[in-house]
Amino acid sequence: MEKNIKIGNKTISETSPVYIVAEMSGNHNMDFNRAKEIIYRSKCAGADAVKIQTYTADTITLDCDNEYFQIKHGTLWDGDTLHSLYEKAYTPWEWQEDLYKYAHEVGIELFSSPFDLSAVDFLENIGVSAYKVASFEINDIPLLQKIARTGKPIIIATGIAELADIELAINTCIKEGNDQIILLKCTSAYPTPYDEVNIKMLNTLKETFDCIVGVSDHTFGSVVPILSVGMGGKMIEKHVTIKRSDGGTDSEFSMEMAEFETMCREVRKAELAMGTGRYYLTESQKMERHFSRSLFIAEDVKKGEVLTEKNIRSVRPSNGMHTKYYGDIIGQKVNQDIKKGTPMEWKYIEWND
């Protein structure tokens, strides 16, 4: 039975168009008007939805600078503490309802990643149509339970997850009566090297967990999103910004709007190119069959003359007899004069009764 997951006014299924999500993250740079511009330009570029994040530094971590909370693992954010990073990156909660309303005004969906229980309550009051679970929260079972109880679609990133983590997360949601789950293959490296993408994992996720799948991609460019279409991915999430040179916590691995628009166009082309898998000829191919091979008279021949390799040939176009009869008519006599360039037909053969 085909799975159908509805987000806003669009349905995601194995046969639907790919659902494209523009991830704003912290690229609003604490500017409300910039956040609105990202929403508007994402819509214009071809996105189906914009995703934001709902947390504060205090709801996602502790204000502590001991060794456990220092970022020092070769990331873009080394030198910060977790708390100081999230203070710069969070989306102010007082913006979010207005951003949600603005998104709907311009005709694009907006949903969020909540990072604690209070964020779910907050987003329910706004009325978001779906929830994203970041891979770092995939093991937050109370959070998953609360999200699942809303009955809304749950998009789960798998970046840092072992298969056992994914299984537990899915089972947790299903136990709460919610099987509207989309799994996003991602690699939690910012930016992600291509040799760490492992896009073939989409097949593994689909077969193992019987879910709709997609990608949350942190590579440069659009190669991975386009590849995901060929692998059956039905959702693409990509970080976006207006200009990388404007800075921002995620700007270095985010797409500028022109790049994002190009990606959206290329994804739609890839979808068209995928087709149905059923063998058939398009109308263009049917027309082009006119120029396939057939048997033609290659020289003027007289009545009673024998057909030879010289006066009968397999050539383009297709108006003559099928080439599979070539061996049958070589050595036969013709029953009338025939001009060069005449399509060969059975009626020209002199039959001996």
Confidence of residue 328 (pLDDT cuts 50, 70, 90): very high
Res 306: pLDDT:
96
**pTM attached to this predicted model:** 0.87
Total domains present in the chain: 2
Res 298: pLDDT:
97
Tell me if 77 is assigned to some domain. Answer: no
Kindly give the pairing relationship between strand 312-315 and strand 294-297: antiparallel
Model confidence over 161-218: pLDDT tens digits?
999 999 999 999 999 999 999 999 998 888 899 999 999 999 999 999 999 999 999 9
73 has a pLDDT exceeding 80: no
Indicate which CATH number applies to the domain containing 250: 3.20.20.70
Q: Give me the domain span that covers residue 325.
A: 283-348
Which pair of structure tokens corresponds to residue 157?
């990133």
Nearest to 46 by CA among 262, 215, 346: 262
Confidence of residue 340 (pLDDT cuts 50, 70, 90): very high
Last residue of a domain, one of 250, 274, 298: 274
Model confidence over 92-149: pLDDT tens digits?
999 999 999 999 999 999 999 999 999 999 999 999 999 999 999 999 999 999 999 9
Last residue of a domain, one of 254, 274, 294: 274
The reply to whether 111 and 249 lie within a common domain is yes
For the chain, the distance separating the N- and C-terminal CA atoms, rounded to the nearest angstrom, is 62
Res 56: pLDDT:
87
59 has a pLDDT exceeding 90: no
What percent of the chain clears pLDDT 90, i.e. is strictly above it? 80
Q: By the 8 A CB rule, do 216 and 157 touch?
A: yes
The reply to whether 239 and 184 lie within a common domain is yes
The reply to whether 254 and 303 lie within a common domain is no
Cα 199 from Cα 57, distance rounded (Å): 32
Model confidence over 262-303: pLDDT tens digits?
999 999 999 999 988 889 888 899 999 999 999 999 999 999
Q: By the 8 A CB rule, do 29 and 93 touch?
A: no
Res 222: pLDDT:
96
Tell me if 41 is assigned to some domain. Answer: yes
**Site of tokens 């790049």:** 259
Res 248: pLDDT:
79
Last residue of a domain, one of 257, 274, 291: 274
Over the chain, what is the mean pLDDT? 94
The reply to whether 256 and 299 lie within a common domain is no
Which residues, in sequence order, are CB contacts of 352 under 8 Å at separation 6+?
A: none
Bridge partners of residue 240, in order along the sequence: 255
Tell me if 61 is assigned to some domain. Answer: no
Res 238: pLDDT:
97
Confidence of residue 74 (pLDDT cuts 50, 70, 90): low
The reply to whether 155 and 132 lie within a common domain is yes
Tell me if 114 is assigned to some domain. Answer: yes
Confidence of residue 352 (pLDDT cuts 50, 70, 90): confident
Res 288: pLDDT:
92
Tell me if 160 is assigned to some domain. Answer: yes
Mean pLDDT calculated for residue range 22-47:
96
Nearest to 124 by CA among 155, 149, 88, 160: 149
Bridge partners of residue 349, in order along the sequence: 334
The reply to whether 95 and 240 lie within a common domain is yes
Confidence of residue 77 (pLDDT cuts 50, 70, 90): low
Indicate which CATH number applies to the domain containing 322: 3.90.1210.10
Tell me if 255 is assigned to some domain. Answer: yes
Mean pLDDT calculated for residue range 224-252:
93
SS3 annotation, the chain: CCCCEEECCEEECCCCCCEEEEECCCCCCCCHHHHHHHHHHHHHHCCCEEEEEECCHHHHCCCCCCHHHECCCCCCCECEEHHHHHHHHCCCHHHHHHHHHHHHHHCCEEEEEECCHHHHHHHHHHCCCCEEECHHHCCCHHHHHHHHHCCCCEEEECCCCCHHHHHHHHHHHHHCCCCCEEEEECCCCCCCCHHHCCCCHHHHHHHHHCCEEEEEECCCCCHHHHHHHHCCCCEEEEEEECCHHHCCCCHHHCEEHHHHHHHHHHHHHHHHHHCCCCCCCCHHHHHHHHHCCEEEECCCECCCCECCCCCEEEECCCCCECHHHHHHHCCCEECCCECCCCECCHHHECCCC
